[in-house]
Structure 1
Amino acid sequence: MTSHAPVHRREPIALSAALDSFDAPWSPRIVARVNDYDVRVAKARGEHVWHVHDDTDEFFLVLDGELEIALREPSGERTVTLAKGSVFVVPRGTEHRPAAREGASILVFEPTGTLSVGDRHDEVPDHVDATTGHALQA
């Protein structure tokens, strides 16, 4: 788990450099905090895990590549595809599973302390890091 001390940097952060600082897929790094929210970057490769955040929405911005998010909604299951530069918000309480077949870089905005595999989830595969985010190494 990560400390919840504020992440306030006095200099700009290049997201490309932040992403270059690690290789592990589905292992988010906290690049900033805004009030009580983390700004996290992650590399997406393969499928994440079906999960749900009961009390918070989850904001996705695709920085590079393409991300698919499968959703289980009251009307049925569907998948949204996000190209580079696209944003999407998964509403709280919606079961979802992000995936990136060719790999992608993403930015996620969610409350500090939110577990990357949600409040309820399927079995977590070895390639998915169940974390509240890791500190970005300078």
Structure 2
Amino acid sequence: MNKVDIAEKFTLFTEEWTPKIIAESNGQLVKIAKGSGELVWHQHDNEDELFIVFKGKLTLQMRDKNIELGIGEMYVVPRGVEHCPLAEPNTHFMMIEPAQTAHTGSVSDDVTVALEDQHWI
């Protein structure tokens, strides 16, 4: 594997809420995405989901609290916790999660990206 320039990878796409795979390690996928507004309420029954913000502000809404992440901050949403990412316009973030993690858990919505449609960039 070659080194990855994360900032450059963010320049290669404009779609929002569509994870792009940039690396794999021990069955975990490293994905980046851009977001504005709200995604969809969902949960991952069997997987934790780690978020790291590179640009903007990402709020991880949960039923009992909100976690606000700025540049350089991270949070792990524990498995089974319902959450809804909310992003300021043009927020850039990374997710690290098991390869089998469905984009929006068991929720299917217009913004859901199927596992087979998540591509490497």
Q: Structure 1 stretches (4+) deviating beyond 4 angstroms?
A: none
Deviating more after overlay: 22-31 vs 96-105: 96-105
CA contact (8 A) 2:20 2:119 kept: yes
Q: Match of 2:120? A: 135
Quote the Cα distance in structure 1 between the aligned partners of 2:90 and 2:57. 7
Q: CA RMSD in A?
A: 1.2
Q: Match of 1:89? A: 76
Q: Deviations over 1:11-60 (max 9, x none)?
A: 21111111111110011111000010000010111111100000010000
Residue 61 in 1 paired to residue 61 in 2? Answer: no
If each structure's strand is expressed as a fraction of its own residues, which one has the higher value? 1
> What is the Cα deviation at residue 124 of structure 1?
1.5
Do the aligned partners of residues 48 and 93 (structure 1) sit closer, same or farther apart at CA in structure 2, a change above 3 Å counting? same
Residue 104 in 1 paired to residue 75 in 2? Answer: no
Amino acid paired to 1:95: E
CA contact (8 A) 1:56 1:110 kept: yes
Amino acid paired to 2:119: H
> What is the Cα deviation at residue 93 of structure 1?
0.3
Length, aligned pairs only? 119
Instruction: State the TM-score, normalized to the length of structure 2.
Output: 0.92
Instruction: State the TM-score, normalized to the length of structure 1.
Output: 0.81
Structure 1 unaligned runs (5+)?
1-8
Determine helix, strand or coil for the equivalent of 1:16.
helix
Q: Match of 2:100? A: 113
Determine helix, strand or coil for the equivalent of 1:40.
strand
Give me the identity figure in percent.
34
Correspondence for 1:49 among 36, 40, 44:
40
Quote the Cα distance in structure 1 between the aligned partners of 2:22 and 2:8. 11
> What is the Cα deviation at residue 68 of structure 1?
0.5
Q: Match of 1:18? A: 9
Quote the Cα distance in structure 2 between the aligned partners of 1:13 and 1:131. 24
